[in-house]
Amino acid sequence: MTQFFQQLINGLSIGSVYALMAVGYSLVYSIMNFSNFAHGGVIMFGAYFGYFFLKLLKFPFPLAFITSAVCTAILALIIERAAYKPLRERKAPFLYFIISAMGTSIFLENLIIAIPAIGPTFRTYPEVFSKHPFKIGELAIGRLDIMMFIVSAICLVLLIYIIDYTKIGKAIQATSYNIKASALMGVNTDFIIVAIFLMGGFLAGIAGVLFGMKYTVYPQIGGITIKSFIAAVFGGLGSLPGAVVGSILLGIIETFTSGYISSQYRDLIAFVLLIAVLVFRPMGLMGKVTEDKA
Report yes or no on 12 lying in a domain: yes
For residue 289, is pLDDT > 80?
no
For residue 237, is pLDDT > 80?
no
Model confidence pLDDT, tens digit, residues 247-277:
998 889 888 888 888 888 888 887 888 788 8
Q: Residue 294's pLDDT is what?
A: 47
For 106, list phi and psi in degrees, rounded to 5. -65, -40
Report yes or no on 67 lying in a domain: yes
CATH number at residue 185: 1.10.3470
Report yes or no on 263 lying in a domain: yes
- Give the H/E segment covering residue 76: helix 61-79
Report yes or no on 132 lying in a domain: no
Q: Considering its fold, how many domains does the chain have in total?
A: 1
Residue 227 domain boundaries: 2-125+140-280
Report yes or no on 285 lying in a domain: no
Report yes or no on 293 lying in a domain: no
Amino acid 125 reads Y
Model confidence pLDDT, tens digit, residues 135-160:
877 788 888 888 999 999 999 999 99
- Quickly list DSSP for 127-138: P-S-SPPEEETT
Report yes or no on 286 lying in a domain: no
3-state DSSP percent of the chain in helix, strand and coil, to 5: 75, 5, 20
Query: For residues 232 and 140, is the Cβ–Cβ distance under 8 A?
Result: no
Q: In terms of Cα–Cα distance, which of 265, 235, 263, 191 is closest to 18?
A: 235
pTM over 0.85: yes
Report yes or no on 288 lying in a domain: no
Q: Residue 193's pLDDT is what?
A: 95
Helix (H, G, I), strand (E, B) or coil at 141: strand
